[in-house]
Chains A and B, each alone.
Chain A
Amino acid sequence: MLFNSFQFLVFFPAVLLVYFLVPAKWRYLWLLAASYYFYMCWNASYALLMLTSTAVTYLSGIGIQAVQRRGKSEERIQKWKKGFVAGSFAINLAILFFFKYFNFVVDTINRALEMMHLKILSPGLDVLLPVGISFYIFQALSYTMDVYRGSIHAERNFLRYALFVSFFPQLVAGPIERSKNLLSQIENLPRFRLWNFERVKSGLLLMLWGYFLKLVISDRTAIAVNAVFDHYEEYGPVELAVGAVLFSFQIYCDFNGYSTIAKGAAQVMGFTLMDNFRQPYLAQDIRDFWRRWHISLTSWFTDYLYIPLGGNRKGLARQCVNIMIVFLTSGLWHGAAWTYVFWGVLHGGFQVIGNLRRKWSIRKNQQRKSWRKLLAGITTFLLVTFSWILFRAESVSQAKGYLLRMFEGPGTLSFPDMGLSQADWVVLALAGVVLFVVDLLHEHGIRIRQTVERRPLGVRWFLYASAVWSIILFGIYGSGYDASQFIYFQF
């Protein structure tokens, strides 16, 4: 079930209605049932995978806690705890590997063997990638690590823990929540005031903004992006550059749209999810970009990979190596293809260069001038956009072809050939301005919703109605109004 489907339009109000009516102590059970139904709408049998991951991480948490209480020697305790963590990681990563990476590895080995004129292995397995698998497995693993580190106590109620892993608003594309935040909210569910008009309204407005990003901007840019990437040989350098820039906005609005809807939906039900984006295209450098883009994943990698690897505590060289490991893993997390690997390596490389530049820069602590900030922002955006070409391409050879053609030389721009009508371009331009202004205001600490709240009633509701209409009238809906997928669902 997708947030932008008719099904969800019926599902969400129905879930809310029961959620607000059932006794407080049963709420989490209702949400758990709703979350599993939400997931099973896509593929019922794959819910078993999620259940397995939930059970394994739940038991590892219980195990770690139990070992600590036994009062054995610290060394033995650590040994056992590590054993539970290793077991949890091994099983979860095995699931992830089997469904996501097995075919990629077999394919890679086959290619290598083929190049050496050796007999190839049997072809890969015909398995469907379970939607959102990387998200819920990472979320579940973070719980194991948090219990291991003693940041939280192991949850004893299995069903409550199962809701933490499967909470439907963020189940399939994040944000990857931490147990400290979400699990504690689930535990406190019977105690908090459920009905709060302002909170519900605010959550709905957030959802509205998410839908705007997805339906008006992302799905519209997708038309041009798909046209350009699928037939890049037929386009000139300018169009390819425009296609790449449009993809930057497509992926931002698609993923941010999803996260915003998730955050809004959770807020309506009284939950606070973490922010996943903070105006990433206003970043000053690549490091800054990753502090603003997919924050929940970046912080996951920082907490559970970068810091355990030594972070920046073991010298510059080791730090650079750690960065490369993190970004290589991040690339692979996104998808089992060489394009993602190269994309990760590229970002790692950008970060390493940035680190070295910062280290050796003589103006380290100087306040930057406005024009330098602007230049840095544009450069960062262009570097990110360049890397998105690898991310979007179906294969390395397509990415190569695209890039070669893009830098072939000057060309002409013919908008109609990119699959968008004149009216589409007008909508896109206007929506782009709205997005830019909103991001700029957020950057300066101005919260739009709070600002609107202070306006007179008529103005306020006029703005709400305009927002609703802009989505209904100018949104892009699939053929037969079937919902289009969110890009990050495939991860």
Chain B
Amino acid sequence: MKKYQRIIRRVLGVIGFFLVLALSNELFRFLVVDDVQSYTRVTMHEFYHQDSIDVLFLGSSHSYRSLDPEITDRFFGSNTFNAGTSSQLPDGSCALLREVCGRYQPKTVYMEVYYGVVCDYDAGPTATYVISDYMRPSWNKYEYLWESGGQEDLVHGLILARRNWQKFFDFPYMAELLQKKFTPEYWQYAYPSYDNEYYAGKGFVYNLEEVGDGWFSSTEPFAPIGDDAIGEKSRESMEEMAKICEEEGIQLVLYSAPMPDFRLNAAGDYDSFVGQMEAFAERIGAEYVDFNLCRESYLPLDGSCFMDDNHLNGKGAERFSQVFGEYFTGSLTKEKLFYESYQEKMEQEYHDEVLGIICAQEEGVEGSYWVDAVTAEERPVYYAVYTKPKGEEEYMLLQGPSSDSTFETPNGQHGYLHICVYGDVQGTELLHQMKCNY
């Protein structure tokens, strides 16, 4: 009898030990992981507390900044939910699809497939953690972590404090974090908000920023669209999603949310991407709809509808959600809403406008920059680049035709650049301008 008591005591001791480890894991996470203002924390909390999810939106920031479930609910007449997360790659979407299938019976899944994420873009581990950190413990979660980043992601996904271990020695940080966490807002999953945007519910983030004067610009060159725009890993994940959807009787729709034409033109042959996506979607038994081919008369999106050169803002999202709902509920036909090709859209809606300016540093050359005006069609333009180093007067760095587009900033100084694009050599017809720091 005594022998059995001892065995039971030891078994209980070992179980207790592992319980203590699990509890302390949660405690350490609470102490050093700052998720106070995390959108995904609230999104996933809401995700697990829905009565039902009939329509699910998946994708990156192009999803959670573009589709407002409050509007789509009205169109679909059912509960829609936006499970988009920052830099969500197709493997993340696949993990979330599995998660939703284990809890709800969605009828349709709309997955945003912006060209920048399906090219197997290296989003880094944060794109994974932003989802896995708030997923409930399940085999699906561990499989996702393992497949996305092997050992490292698995360890960091299971032991969150390991990622932030240095913070254990930053006492002011911990004190401030605890202060923020010991508030009713944190425990009640209050919607986070920042100066220019706020969480609006069911995964949607409403942004208040606008592109200044409607003039698009970028300080980074855009990754070009290649002939093989869909990466191998993305392909596999989307094929897996199609298989799950088929098994679960879910309709899978792939779509691209609207982006500024400045970006799409700068990225290269957008029709090539559309063609590749259509062919891929057909092969996996899904539909592909590209809202960048929308006619302006149905979906007018100027600079005031974008928060930057990539994402819709709240106003743009409201317009897009409306059109999205109308199209997928049959109020708008494909013929009415879309051009046949992106090329046709360009020809019909633009002439010789300058869509935006890219001013970027030459790769690996400190202080050397190039400037490029992105136009809807070929046309002559002239640049004038001014600089204002800190504590000095503004002066001109470059003036001339577009063939002369590189310049150097004053050695070892910081300041700002003012780039003007003119339609004439005299500089009287200002077409576009941008300002940036260096």
Tell me the A residues contacting B by CB distance below 8 Å.
Answer: 6, 197, 421-423, 426-427, 457, 461-462, 464-465, 468-469, 472-474, 477, 480-482
CB within 8 Å for A465 and B10 given contacts A426-B169, A480-B150: no
Q: Are B21 and A423 in contact (CB under 8 A)?
A: no
| Top 8 A-B pairs, shortest CB-CB distance | A481-B151, A423-B166, A423-B169, A473-B165, A481-B152, A480-B152, A465-B20, A426-B169
Q: Least Cβ distance of B20 to chain A in Å? A: 5
Q: Is the CB of A6 within 8 A of B21?
A: no
Distance in angstroms between the alpha carbons of A480 and B150 in the assembled complex? 8
Report the nearest B residue to A7, measured CB to CB: B151
Q: Are A472 and B162 closer than 8 Å at their CB atoms?
A: yes
User: What are the residues of chain B within 8 A of A457 when measuring CB–CB?
Assistant: 13
A474 nearest CB neighbor, chain B only: B165
Q: Are A473 and B155 in contact (CB under 8 A)?
A: no
Interface size on B, residues (CB 8 A): 20
Contact with A along B18-43 (1 / 0, CB 8 A): 00110010001000000000000000
Tell me how far the C-beta of B427 lies from the nearest C-beta in chain A, rounded to whole angstroms: 49
B350 CB–A CB distance under 8 Å: no
B166 A421 Cβ-Cβ under 8 A: yes
Distance in angstroms between the alpha carbons of A469 and B22 in the assembled complex: 11
If A461-B13, A461-B20 touch, whether A473 touches B166 (CB-CB below 8 Å) is no
Task: Give the chain B neighbours of A461 by CB distance below 8 A.
Answer: 13, 16-17, 20
Q: Judging by beta carbons under 8 Å apart, are B166 and A197 in contact?
A: no
Shortest Cβ gap from B296 to chain A (Å): 48
Q: A462 CA to B151 CA in the complex, in Å?
A: 27
Structural contact, B150 and A422, CB atoms closer than 8 A: no
Residues from chain B with Cβ under 8 Å of A465 in the complex: 17, 20-21, 24
With the chains together, A421 CA to B150 CA distance in Å? 26
Given the known A-B contacts A423-B166, A473-B162, A473-B165, are A468 and B21 also in contact in the complex, defined by CB atoms under 8 Å?
A: yes
27 A-B pairs with C-beta separation under 8 A: A6-B151, A197-B10, A421-B166, A422-B169, A423-B165, A423-B169, A423-B170, A427-B169, A457-B13, A461-B13, A461-B16, A461-B17, A461-B20, A465-B17, A465-B20, A468-B21, A469-B21, A469-B28, A472-B159, A472-B162, A473-B161, A473-B165, A473-B168, A474-B165, A480-B150, A481-B150, A481-B151
Q: In angstroms, how far is the closest chain A Cβ from the Cβ of B178?
A: 18
Interchain CA distance A477-B162 in the complex, whole Å: 11
A residues in contact with B162, CB < 8 Å: 472-473
Which residues of chain B from 109 to 159 have a CB within 8 Å of any chain A CB?
150-152, 155, 159
Assembled-state Cα–Cα distance A328/B168 (Å): 47
What separation, in Å, do the CA atoms of A17 and B12 have in the docked complex?
20
Describe A's contact surface by its main secondary structure. Answer: helix
State in angstroms the CA–CA spacing of A197 and B161 once bound together: 31
**Which of A197, A469, A480 is within 8 Å of B24, CB to CB?**
A469
Measured in the bound complex, the distance between the Cα atoms of B270 and A65 in whole Å is 83
Across-interface contacts of B151 in A (CB, < 8 A) = 6, 480-482
Give A169 to B17 CA distance when docked, in angstroms. Answer: 26
Complex Cα spacing A466 to B183, Å: 29
CB distance from A394 to the nearest CB of B (A): 29
**Cβ of A423: which chain B residues have Cβ within 8 Å of it?**
165-166, 168-170
How far is it, in angstroms, between the C-alpha of A474 and the C-alpha of B159 when the chains are bound?
12
Known: A6-B151, A421-B166, A468-B21. 5 other contacts (CB 8 A): A197-B10, A422-B169, A423-B168, A469-B24, A473-B162
Q: Which residues of A have CB within 8 Å of B155?
A: 477, 481
For B24, what are the chain A residues with a Cβ–Cβ distance below 8 Å?
A: 465, 469
In Å, the complex CA distance between A443 and B5 comes to 38
Please indicate the chain A residues that have their CB under 8 angstroms from the CB of B16 in the complex: 461
Which of B10, B28, B152 is the one whose CB lies under 8 Å from A473? B28
Residues of B contacting A472 in the complex (Cβ-Cβ under 8 angstroms): 159, 162
Bound CA–CA A469/B169 (angstroms)? 15
CB distance from A387 to the nearest CB of B (A): 34
A427 to chain B: which residues have CB within 8 Å? Answer: 169
**Whole-angstrom distance between the Cβ of B174 and the nearest chain A Cβ:** 13
Once bound together, how far apart are the Cα atoms of A468 and B20, in whole Å? 11
Per the bound structure, the CA–CA distance linking A383 and B152 in Å amounts to 40
Alpha-carbon distance between A427 and B166 when the two chains are bound, in angstroms: 9
- Docked Cα-Cα span, A328 to B159, in Å, equals 48
CB distance from A54 to the nearest CB of B (A): 34
For the complex, give the distance between the alpha carbons of A482 and B155 in Å: 12
Residues of A within 8 Å of B21, CB to CB, are 465, 468-469
Chain B nearest CB from A209 CB (Å) reads 17
| B17 and A464 contact, CB distance less than 8 A | yes
Chain A residues with CB under 8 Å of B17's CB are 461, 464-465
Q: How far is the CB of A473 from chain B (nearest CB, A)?
A: 5
What's the Cα separation between A468 and B28 when bound, in Å? 13
In whole angstroms, what is the CA distance A80 to B159 when docked?
63
How far does the alpha carbon of A490 sit from the alpha carbon of B169 in the complex, in Å?
A: 36
Contacts of B150 in A (CB 8 A): 480-481
CA distance in complex: A197, B9 (Å): 12
- Cα-based distance from A477 to B150 in the complex (angstroms): 14
Q: CA A422 – CA B169 in complex, angstroms? A: 9
In whole angstroms, what is the CA distance A462 to B162 when docked?
Answer: 19
Shortest Cβ distance from B169 into A: residue: A423
Inter-chain contacts of B20 with A (CB < 8 A): 461-462, 465
- A20–chain B nearest beta-carbon distance, Å: 15
Report A470 CB to chain B, min CB distance, Å.
Answer: 10
